[in-house]
Structure 1
Amino acid sequence: MPIIAVVIPCRNEQEHIRACIESVLQSKIDNDCKLQIIVIDGGSTDQTIEIIKKLSNEHSNIILLHNSHAFTPISFNMGITHASEADYIQIVGARHLISNDYISKALSILQVHPDIWCVGGRIYNDFLNSTSEIIAKSMGSAFGMGIGNFRTLQKSGFTDTVTSPLYPIRVFKTIGLFDAQLVRNQDDDFNYRIKLAGGKIYYEHSISLRYFVRASFKNVFKQFYQYGYWKVFVNKKHQAVTTWRQLVPPFFLLYLFGLPVMVFLSSYSLLYSIPFMLYCTLNIISSCSEFPHLKKIILTCYAYLILHVSYGMGYLHGVLRFIILGKRPEKSQTQLTR
């Protein structure tokens, strides 16, 4: 009887944790499979723990663990270590609602194709207010996230990373656990290690999950700033650029910094301004394709700018901090946004 352990890290997610766990409980899996749900709380100060305890009283396969360090990779590792008898590990974010066939279809792929070490599905960005609706649309577009990003893939196939992955337990026995020092991008690092070890990562378009995005531009800015910042840390760790598309935002930001000087002091001012005009044009076209109303179009243009500038700023900060100065991460960049 295959045992599937679902690992869910959380902290102060009272608005989402019940729906997340219930979506896992509704999974349609074969009768010969056993489902175990391990929720690791990182020190919640709201009603998250109470909600989990109530659900665990109703369902004997729900286990609650406590992570005093509050870092996501530590929660991952606690859950994986606790599931010592599991055959498969399914990672699910506290803001994720997986489809009822998510686990079963991912499991079938892993069982048929032993060369595949990781399977994930399509992500639908969900929202709770008008601001998060705009953020959700921008995060679901190729212009916002980049061509080839798992959030924008339109067909099944091999990729470099996925969200809410299902792994055979042998993967962790082969390459180890998640890097506990990575506050962000720990999944990117882990999946890069999979590829280095010869494993394959598969995106299955027919399975899906809903993800509730941040509800404010401020929090999204912080989130993507940290993505860029920690991406450099991962690159330094592996002495390699893990994906080439990550370089676009920081180089674009450097271009923007130099644009005023180039335009006013160079005889090729029009030539130098072409990339900026192209960016503005693509931004407007992409925004218009998402919404018909002028106000939302303007805000979507702003959301795209936030995604690109915040990631680029965080990336350049990481280059300065880790590559040029050779220092460790600042404590201020270890605090996750909510």
Structure 2
Amino acid sequence: MSSWVSVIVPCRNERAHIEAFCASLFAQQLPAGWSLEAVIADGQSDDGTAQWLAEHAGERLKVIDNPGRIVSTGLNHALSIARGEVIVRMDVHSVYAPDYVAECIAALARTGADNVGGAWCAQGQGALQRAIGAVFQSRWLSGGARSRVLDFEGEVDTVYLGAWPRASFERFGAFDENLVRNQDDEHNLRIKKAGGRVWQSARIRSHYTPRAALSALARQYLQYGYWKAFVMRKHGQAASARHVLPALGLTAVLGAVLVLPWWPGVLPALLAPYALWVLGASAAAGREDWAVRLRMPAVILTYHGAYALGTIVGAWDVLRGLPPESARNSRFAQLTR
């Protein structure tokens, strides 16, 4: 008798990518004795995605409606009908190794962890998108996150996407539907606080396509920063110091601007070391060519500035008691890709 693995996929307006994604999904090479089903939760797409899915739905490809139209509600709807002993999350904009699901199953069996996944690997086309990917991938430019280190194997605070034994959701609960962003980080923090383990395996390989414009990147990280504040309110802590450092830095800069008439040297003292660090990190960007390196300072500023500003705005909304359900109706709930 086969064991089942269920791939759960939140989706909205992905007509340009859904066909290739499904083809790669069902080309996964599973271990002997395993069968795969996919459950795609469509967030009321209006670009032809829903029609394509309806035409191709069947025993192995189940399609359900996601009226909430955000990732957390889509994941939970898909989870509610998935029959697998193992649950694997996939996103449409990523490309997966043929043994991706098999390595998720193997890592769960090998480690006994409550969630496993691979490193976040960004690969872009063109100089700007490659610069966005290079900054994302740099451990030093992302606060030392192990989840960006492609060959790291061990316990981490979060992983890309994730794969769980069904028992993990019975023990730790499903995804928080109040969160438009960071629902995966919050779920991993919940696992860790309850004594569970999150494991990154270098054998679980995929890559995703980052945003291709600074404006889109800024909107994305503004939201990440904003919703991180609500995660911290829920748990009374940040999962890592790197989640608050950009906001603290921007707050210090804004404070220095306010005191410029009295202490004009404070602002240059803050900005000069950061500017040198940004330029040095860009110049030393591994194997990247100069077309990429020259774009990296603007990319770094966009990452850090948008995330910091989003965190500050989110912290203000948290301090004034704005409930997450109200925030979900704001501009920070509009998905940005």
What is the CA distance between 1:82 and its match in structure 2? 0.7
Identify unmatched segments of 5+ residues in structure 2.
none
Aligned to 2:33: 32
Match of 1:134 among 131, 134, 137: 131
Cα deviation, residue 263, structure 1: 6.0
Where 1:144 maps in the other structure, the secondary structure is coil
Q: Give 1:200's aligned residue.
A: 197
Matches within 5 A, 1:34-53: 34-53=35-54
Determine whether 1:321 maps to 2:321.
Answer: no
Deviations 1:278-315 (A, max 9, x none): 2112211222233432x543321001000001000000
C-alpha contact 1:105 1:207 (8 A) present in aligned 2: yes
Q: In the aligned structure 1, how far is the partner of 2:18 from the partner of 2:270?
A: 43
Q: 2:97 aligns with which of 99, 104, 110?
A: 99
The residue identity in structure 1 corresponding to 2:274 is Y
Q: Could you tell me whether the CA contact under 8 Å between 2:11 and 2:42 is conserved in 1?
A: yes
Partner letter of residue 67 of structure 1? Answer: N
Q: Deviations over 1:111-154 (max 9, x none)?
A: 2333x101101232122444322212221112432202512454
Match of 1:307 in 2: 303
Equivalent position of 1:73 in the other structure: 72
Q: Once the 2 structures are TM-superposed, how far is the Cα of residue 229 of structure 1 from its aligned partner?
A: 0.6
Listed as ranges, the gaps of 5+ residues in structure 1 are none
SS of the residue corresponding to residue 294 of structure 2 reads: helix
TM-score by length of 1: 0.91
* 3-state secondary structure, aligned to 2:24: helix
Cα offset for 1:208? 1.1
Matches for 1:326-337 after TM superposition, within 5 Å: 326-328=321-323, 329=327, 331-337=330-336
1:9 partnered with 2:6: no
1:257 to 254, 263, 281: 254
Farther off after superposition, 273-282 or 196-205: 273-282
Give the fraction of aligned pairs with identical amino acids, expressed as a percent.
26
- Supply the distance in 1 between the matched residues of 2:193 and 2:260 (Cα, whole angstroms): 44
Letter in 1 for 2:78: G
What do residues 172-211 of structure 1 show as CA deviations (whole Å, max 9, x unaligned)? 1112111111100100111111112211000111221110
Residue equivalent to 2:274: 279
Contact conserved, 1:263 with 1:273, CA < 8 A, in 2?
A: no
Q: Which residue of 2 aligns with 1:297?
A: 293
The answer to whether the 8 Å contact 1:145/1:152 transfers is no
Give distance in 1, aligned partners of 2:193 and 2:294: 42
Q: Residues of 2 paired with 1:200 and 1:220: CA distance?
A: 31
Per the TM alignment, residue 8 of structure 1 is displaced from its structure 2 partner at its CA by 0.8
Amino acid at match of 1:217: L
Q: Conserved in 2, the CA contact under 8 Å of 1:102 and 1:121?
A: no
Alpha carbons 1:144, 1:308 under 8 Å: kept? no
Change (3 A) 1:52 1:131: farther
Change (3 A) 1:51 1:213: farther
Q: Residue in 2 aligned with 1:211?
A: 208
Aligned-residue offset at 1:66? 1.3
CA distance in structure 2 between the aligned counterparts of 1:56 and 1:92, rounded to whole angstroms: 17
1:111 aligns with 2:112: no
Matched residue type, 2:181: R
* Deviating more after overlay: 143-152 vs 194-203: 143-152
Aligned pairs (5 A) from 1:91-240: 91-114=89-112, 116-152=113-149, 154-240=151-237
Cα distance in 1 between the residues matched to 2:141 and 2:11: 26
Write the letter of the residue equivalent to 1:95: H
SS of residue paired to 2:16: coil
Q: TM-score scaled to structure 2, two decimals? A: 0.91
Q: Which whole-Å CA distance do the structure 1 matches of 2:35 and 2:269 have between them? A: 58
For residue 160 of structure 2, give the secondary structure of its aligned residue in structure 1.
Answer: coil
What secondary structure does 1:207 align onto?
Answer: coil
The one-letter code matched in structure 1 to 2:298 is Y
